[in-house]
Amino acid sequence: MCRLRARGLTYERIADQLGISRGNTCEAVERAIADIVRRPAEQGFASRS
């Protein structure tokens, strides 16, 4: 979903393509972005231990 969003598709268009609600699409993209940001931070903390 993040790749589709990065290509400029709207949440509505992504939802239509995947057959899910716009709200679920938005939440899934937000979770994915948060996970992408969190992983490097966690890796950085692990390497400092």
Side chain identity at residue 38, one-letter code = R
7-43 in b/e form (b: 16+ CB < 10 A) is eebebeebbeeeeeeeeebbebbeeeeeeeeeeeeee
Q: What is the mean pLDDT of residues 35-42?
A: 79
Residue 48 has pLDDT above 70, yes or no: no
Q: Retrieve residue 48's tokens.
A: 């400092």
More confident residue, 21 or 36: 21
The reported pLDDT for the residue numbered 47 is 60
**pLDDT tens digits for range 2-29:** 889 999 999 999 999 999 999 999 999 9
Domain hosting residue 18, numbered range:
2-48
Residue 36 has pLDDT above 70, yes or no: yes
Total number of domains in the chain: 1
- Alpha helical stretches, state H, 1-49: 2-6, 11-18, 22-48
